[in-house]
Amino acid sequence: MMTASEIKLRGVMRFDEPLSRHTTWRVGGPASVFYQPADSADLITFLQQLTSDEPLLWLGLGSNLLVRDGGFPGTVIATQGSLMAMALTGDETLRVEAGVPSAQVARFATRNALSGVEFLAGIPGTLGGALAMNAGAFGTEIWQRVEWVETVDRFGQLHKRQKSEFKIGYREVQGVENEWFLAAHLQLTPGDSTETVAHIRQLLERRAATQPTRQPSCGSVFRNPEGDYAARLIEAAGLKGSQRGGAQVSEKHANFIINTGSATAADIEALIAQVQDEVERCSGIRLQTEVHRVGVTG
């Protein structure tokens, strides 16, 4: 494997980096290579040096992600703290790079008297992750505000992609294979800053009242089946508080699995399977996971 000095990189490279330090569940084995680029130009340089068969994992804040205990046998590219540019590109348009935390996008828009992304204040991830999964809350989704995106492929080539080039669904986005989001151009609407701040505060209060925000989790584990809610089905199956090792179905919100302090990825994965089996036995519905699972078993 290359060293940073050999290819004149400006970012930070680590080997066998524990991914438990970089995921909101606080579990996960090591990445063979962990790279945090200095900026988008440095990222492009890094990608241009990789072999075409190198496994890649892009990592933001590590929410909506379960890294198995054996870790990730490839290269992890950490965008948080790296791809952080954000600027107005017009009266009501905003360019945001993939590493910007979602909550920061909401605050920036509010400061500039723009509305439409208040819901991002409660999304525990980066904009890149929000784009990849069409993150949403309280009836609004990020792709409703996307005009077009900038992507980069594994060879470091940049691309401009229109919204129409993606298949966008509930918590799912399909685009060109082996391309990753570098930035998004968002179309917002004029808004009263005072009203927008009040709306954000209301959304955050609602989130704190209904979700285990002070405990390690990935966010929602399961997708809501059509016409129903995963949390309702899990609670109806009597699974609130159920535990496998250090992993527990939250008593506060049944669609959250929390790390009580000693959970392994295997504990969490076993509890996910238990919930799926029991809900299917009780209701006939097989819950589909929203969380992205990567890596090898320990």
Final residue before a domain boundary, out of 78, 96, 116: 78
pLDDT at 197: 86
Asked if residue 116 belongs to a domain, the reply is yes
Instruction: Give the SS3 label for residue 193.
Output: helix
pLDDT score of 101 more than 50? yes
Residue 189, beta-bridge partner list: 115
pLDDT at 7: 63
Which pLDDT tens digit goes with each residue over 124-160? 899 999 999 999 887 889 999 999 999 999 999 999 9
**Residue range of the domain that includes 263:** 230-294
Average pLDDT for 236-245: 98
Domain count, the chain: 3
Which pLDDT tens digit goes with each residue over 257-286? 999 999 999 999 999 999 999 999 999 999
Asked if residue 3 belongs to a domain, the reply is no
Task: State how far Cα 281 lies from the chain centre.
Answer: 30
- Return the closest-CA partner of residue 177 out of 266, 52, 81, 11: 52
pLDDT score of 39 more than 80? yes
pLDDT score of 289 more than 90? yes
pLDDT score of 110 more than 90? yes
pLDDT score of 252 more than 70? yes
Residue of 17, 40, 82, 171 marked active site: 171
Asked if residue 222 belongs to a domain, the reply is no
Answer yes or no: do 238 and 204 share one domain: no
pLDDT score of 163 more than 50? yes
How much is the pTM? 0.89
Average pLDDT for 154-173: 95
Asked if residue 278 belongs to a domain, the reply is yes
pLDDT at 80: 86
Average pLDDT for 27-48: 96
pLDDT at 4: 45
Final residue before a domain boundary, out of 78, 108, 136: 78
C-alpha dihedral sign at 292, 57, 21, 136: negative
Which residue carries 């890596």 as its tokens? 295
Answer yes or no: do 125 and 188 share one domain: yes
pLDDT at 5: 45
Q: What's 95's domain CATH number?
A: 3.30.465.10
Compare 147 and 8 and report the one with higher pLDDT.
147
pLDDT score of 293 more than 50? yes
Q: Do 31 and 268 contact (CB within 8 A), yes or no?
A: no
Answer yes or no: do 44 and 93 share one domain: no
Average pLDDT for 17-36: 97
Final residue before a domain boundary, out of 61, 78, 95: 78
Asked if residue 224 belongs to a domain, the reply is no
- Is 220 annotated in the active site? yes
Residue of 115, 220, 244, 269 marked active site: 220
Q: What's 251's domain CATH number?
A: 3.90.78.10
Average pLDDT for 217-227: 95
Asked if residue 218 belongs to a domain, the reply is no
Task: State how far Cα 275 lies from the chain centre.
Answer: 22
- Mean residue pLDDT of the chain comes to 94
Answer yes or no: do 37 and 107 share one domain: no
Answer yes or no: do 67 and 102 share one domain: no
Compare 263 and 52 and report the one with higher pLDDT.
263
Average pLDDT for 37-62: 95
d(CA 104, CA 116): 14
